[in-house]
Structure 1
Amino acid sequence: MKFVAFERQAQGTGASRRLRNSGKTPGIVYGGEGQPQLIELDHNALWHALKKEAFHSTILEMELGGKVSKVLLRDVNMHPFKQLVQHVDFQRVDAKTKLHMKVPVHYVGAEESQAVKLDHCVVNHVISDLDISCFPGDLPEFIEVDLSGLKKGTSLHLSEIKLPKGVTAITHGKKDPVLVSVVSIGGGEEATEAAAGAAPADAKAAAPAKDAKAAPAKDAKAAAKK
């Protein structure tokens, strides 16, 4: 993805406020061999770009002063309640330096699995994005995980998926975290079968009660004849 940035001269809170009022968003680009540089971007173009998943997880081409450099989006500061981007940070990409990024996980094939198709289980996505380390040339836009092999009562762990070439997962605390868990819906068919099995017994229990009510009525008619 490509975007255009412009050099920003003015600094400070007041200058940034005036910049936002004019439809621009202040930002900064840092890292690599160059010095940190203040930039500004068109707010509307930035707003629409931020809605795209790839803008957050892939290497971007930034045109600045007639030159194109590769950068990563590192931070976005949003207004507490307005649809307003207050500030953005970008990091220059060095082809020889490994990146540490969060990449979204796309789950596919769950509807075709035995757990969902036959056993009518619910598949819970425990992790929606994954911390990874890789060189810029190996950075994936997302990681796709096939769930078609899921079975009832199982879970899918990180060690069970194949990561793209050159990509290493970074875990925090747990060595082999759960990505997806399969939960069976309890009480459905079993409860129906139990209710059906109990019906004849209830009917038998109810029969004597009807006879008990009928007996006093016959006694009353006999008393009337007398």
Structure 2
Amino acid sequence: MVDFTLRAIARDDLGKGASRRLRRNADMVPAIIYGGSKAPQSVSLEARELKKALENEAFFSHVIKVDVDGKNNNVLIKALQRHPAKGHVMHVDLLRVIAGHEVTVLVPLHFLNEKSCVGVKQGGGIISHTMTEVEVHCLPKDLPEFIEVDMAEVELNGIVHLTDLKLPKGVSLTALAQGADHDLPVANVHAPRVAVDDEEAGEEAPKDEGEESAE
């Protein structure tokens, strides 16, 4: 399991102007830590350190340690505000993680055995992903970095639903808590579109004059 630690500095200079100066002059990113019984705390994160951490997929579904002037905070990323044109992070919302209190987090899906999938090898099918992440509910200690989706035995025209996912102990899907009608598809194996179009065209093609006269 990856261990993420970020260094932060508490800040009192607030407002949009202060945030712009922070990003421009100090190569820092403004952030806020909130949640739990403590008051929200405005901090500054090192932009370069944050950028490197964001390159790892697990960073978004992992309990992160934020060292604020020597005091440790366990947090989860709840929101990132990015520049609309340049894409760099402009602000980060960090939610405090309290031991024994359940959290709700988006976790990425990892699709396994796609090349050896029955529907692909024997049926000539193509795999489509209808989800790339799922929302889970669990204690912080049970939070998975990702959830695996095994495609090995999925046949042509087969569909993998949320209820087909194997979840770690203590982890539940928030969608399924809303009822059976929220058992959404995660992935499917379907015939190539070209083959389907050709088959349909063959069924609809009119008989030529020679065939009609022969009858």
In structure 2, stretches of 5+ residues that fail to align are: 203-207, 211-215
| Partner Cα distance (2:53, 2:140) in 1 | 21
CA deviations 1:4-60 (Å, max 9, x no partner) are: 111112011211111111211111001122210010011122122122111111101
Query: 1:213 corresponds to which residue?
Result: none
Establish whether residue 132 from structure 1 lines up as the match of residue 136 from structure 2. yes
| Partner Cα distance (1:153, 1:41) in 2 | 48
Percent of aligned positions that are identical: 35
| Partner Cα distance (2:195, 2:86) in 1 | 45
Whether the 8 Å CA contact 2:148–2:165 is kept in 1: the answer is no
Establish whether residue 182 from structure 1 lines up as the match of residue 182 from structure 2. no
CA deviations 1:106-160 (Å, max 9, x no partner) are: 1101211210111110011111100110010100000011110110121111112
Establish whether residue 12 from structure 1 lines up as the match of residue 19 from structure 2. no
Cα 1:190/1:11, change in 2 over 3 Å: closer
Cα 1:18/1:33, change in 2 over 3 Å: same
Whether the 8 Å CA contact 2:107–2:146 is kept in 1: the answer is yes
Establish whether residue 96 from structure 1 lines up as the match of residue 103 from structure 2. no
Cα 1:119/1:8, change in 2 over 3 Å: same
TM-score, scaled relative to structure 2: 0.84
How many residues were matched structurally? 196
Cα 1:186/1:104, change in 2 over 3 Å: closer
CA RMSD of aligned residues (A): 2.3
Cα 1:190/1:128, change in 2 over 3 Å: closer
| Partner Cα distance (2:83, 2:125) in 1 | 40
| Partner Cα distance (2:33, 2:197) in 1 | 61
Establish whether residue 42 from structure 1 lines up as the match of residue 46 from structure 2. yes
| Partner Cα distance (1:52, 1:189) in 2 | 39
Query: 1:53 corresponds to which residue?
Result: 57
Query: 1:109 corresponds to which residue?
Result: 113
Whether the 8 Å CA contact 1:110–1:150 is kept in 2: the answer is no
State the shift of 1:83 in Å: 3.8
Instruction: Give the residue type in structure 2 aligned to 1:140.
Output: P
**Runs in 1 of length 4+ with deviation above 4 angstroms?**
186-192
Cα 1:54/1:187, change in 2 over 3 Å: closer
Secondary structure at 1:162 match in 2? coil
Establish whether residue 146 from structure 1 lines up as the match of residue 150 from structure 2. yes
Please identify which structure carries the higher helix content: 1
| Partner Cα distance (2:14, 2:196) in 1 | 67
Instruction: Give the residue type in structure 1 aligned to 2:9.
Output: F
State the shift of 1:65 in Å: 1.5
Cα 1:178/1:83, change in 2 over 3 Å: closer
Query: 1:118 corresponds to which residue?
Result: 122
TM-score, scaled relative to structure 1: 0.80
Aligned ranges 1:145-164 → 2 under 5 Å = 145-164=149-168
Establish whether residue 67 from structure 1 lines up as the match of residue 74 from structure 2. no
In structure 1, stretches of 5+ residues that fail to align are: 196-201, 206-226
Cα 1:189/1:105, change in 2 over 3 Å: closer
